[in-house]
Amino acid sequence: MRSADPTALWDTIRLGLSKQLPEASFKEWIAPCAPVKVEDGTLWIQVPSAAAKLWIEQQLPEEFNDALAQGGLADLQLVFQVSGVSPAEPKAAPRKGESGSHPALEAPTASSFPYLFNRYTLDRFVVGPGSQLAFAAAKAVVDSYGKAATPLSMNPLFIYGGAGLGKTHLMVGIGKGLLARNPRLRVAYLKVDNFFNELTVAIKAKNTEPMRKKYQQNDVLLLDDVQTLGKMERTQEEIFYILEYLLQHGKQIVLTSDKPPQRLEGCHERLITRFKWGLTADIQPPDFETRIAILKKKLEDADFKNVPPIPDDVLTFIAHKAKGSVRDLEGFLTRVIFQASLIGIPPTLEVAHAAFQGQSGEEPTAAIPPERIYRMTAETFNLPFADLMKKRSRQQAVLLPRQVAMYLAREIASAPFTDIGRSFSMHHSTVMNAIDSVRERMKRDPEFHRMVQALLNSIH
């Protein structure tokens, strides 16, 4: 039976978080928190400031979910309360016998998601060139669920990409979209590591069959982080039987990974074959325009309603410095707002510079020389540097790398069009046309977009 002692519950969660977070992050955000009370399946936690509450809810939902699952507290909801402020009541999940539940079943898995995943909906996902296919597939899974089969199978839907790019957001968004259409669906969200922990307990009890049946009776299974399966022999076996059963009975499966199926090391071939049965879609890091759109969408959140307006130059600076992932981007924005609130001033470019330097240890205005960008572009395209800069040619072997170099000089170094043109002995209008050409091609050519984005991230 779960403890009703808020301190004991919080200690369990803290232990799980301490294993996931860097020591500095744990001390900064988790250590100052304290449990307040337990009431109706909800643990109330006091945080030192509104900025700390914002950071925890915006940046650590997945870490808290993992800590709850690993501590055997998956159904416990959390509310973070700023001292002296009364928070809104959390929305309770459906219980047995209520609408949306299946009283005839022994509570397979809750058709709900962790409270801190409340912002993971499809309408809050900002689509860019690197995420168009994955988003379109996610939306199609929701729109086509329960309808007649189409020639294009999206079962399972396998979404892959680097950490922090929005895979879990899309996955949970699918589940929420399906539940919005049919609240009676049994939807299970599950991380592979947490399944492993649950399976370990079942093996010790020499009783794994109930666990397998629990997941087999779902209508939708959302399985997160399957790249970790390679080191888990028995877990692979159990997941194979679960997936096989669900697929045979026409149930929807969504999987996420940081690698495509064919690159999953240590996975059994029969499991990889199941992963590849449906549609595979990747997510790439967002380009500059998408990063700006993500920041503006983020500022529409209710959590930011009392934040002073963020100047465009601050958003531009954040978008230029946080290129690696959506999580990095949103985290930097939240840190700027947090730092501004600490010193009691609006978020300015100077505050953003200080936040960047404090987080990275780098000079915020340290410019990347355009020549470095040009040289790395030439190297990437296996083109002599002199040919990139001076050779007169309309051949794609020279023209395309040159256009990409111009685009990157503008994107990374914010170099003026006239300066870029001077480097290539061209008029600034030619440079503008070249950059527009690259942007248009990135929108319509996913492979080209991936190549340019990878080069951009390697130079940064």
List the domain boundaries for the chain: 6-82, 115-283, 288-360, 370-459
Rg of the chain (C-alpha set): 24
Can you tell me the distance from the alpha carbon of 245 to that of 224, in angstroms, rounded to the nearest whole number? 18
Asked if CATH classification 1.10.8.60 holds for the domain at 288-360, the reply, yes or no, is: yes
CATH-assigned architecture of domain 6-82: 2-Layer Sandwich (3.30)
- Kindly give the confidence (pLDDT) of every residue in the chain, 460 residues in length, as a single tens digit, with 9 standing for 90 and above: 566 888 999 999 999 999 888 888 898 889 999 999 988 888 899 998 877 888 888 888 888 888 888 888 878 888 888 876 655 554 444 433 343 333 333 333 445 676 678 888 999 998 988 888 999 999 999 998 877 666 566 889 999 998 889 999 999 999 999 999 998 999 999 888 888 888 888 888 888 888 888 888 999 999 998 998 887 888 888 889 999 999 888 899 999 999 899 888 888 898 899 898 889 999 988 887 888 899 998 888 887 877 888 888 888 888 878 877 888 888 889 888 888 887 888 888 888 888 888 766 666 555 678 888 898 888 888 888 888 888 776 777 888 999 999 999 988 888 889 999 999 988 999 999 999 999 999 888 888 887 887 777 666 5
What six digits make up the tokens of 334? 């939240």
The residue whose two tokens read 């919005």 is 180
Can you tell me the distance from the alpha carbon of 198 to that of 281, in angstroms, rounded to the nearest whole number? 29
166 annotated to bind ligand: yes
Can you tell me the distance from the alpha carbon of 117 to that of 169, in angstroms, rounded to the nearest whole number? 8
Pair 87, 81: CB distance under 8 Å = yes
164 annotated to bind ligand: yes
The Cα angle at residue 69 between residues 88 and 229, in degrees rounded to 5: 135
Q: How far is the CA of 336 from the CAs of 346, 368, 373, in angstroms?
A: 10, 23, 28
CATH tag, 370-459: 1.10.1750.10
Question: In which element (H, E) is residue 253 found?
Answer: strand 252-257
Pair 303, 57: CB distance under 8 Å = yes
Question: Under CATH, domain 115-283 is a member of which superfamily?
Answer: P-loop containing nucleotide triphosphate hydrolases (3.40.50.300)
Strands (E), 59-138: 77-82
Helices then strands, each counted (H, E), the chain: 20, 8
pTM of the complete model = 0.72
167 annotated to bind ligand: yes
Pair 84, 47: CB distance under 8 Å = no
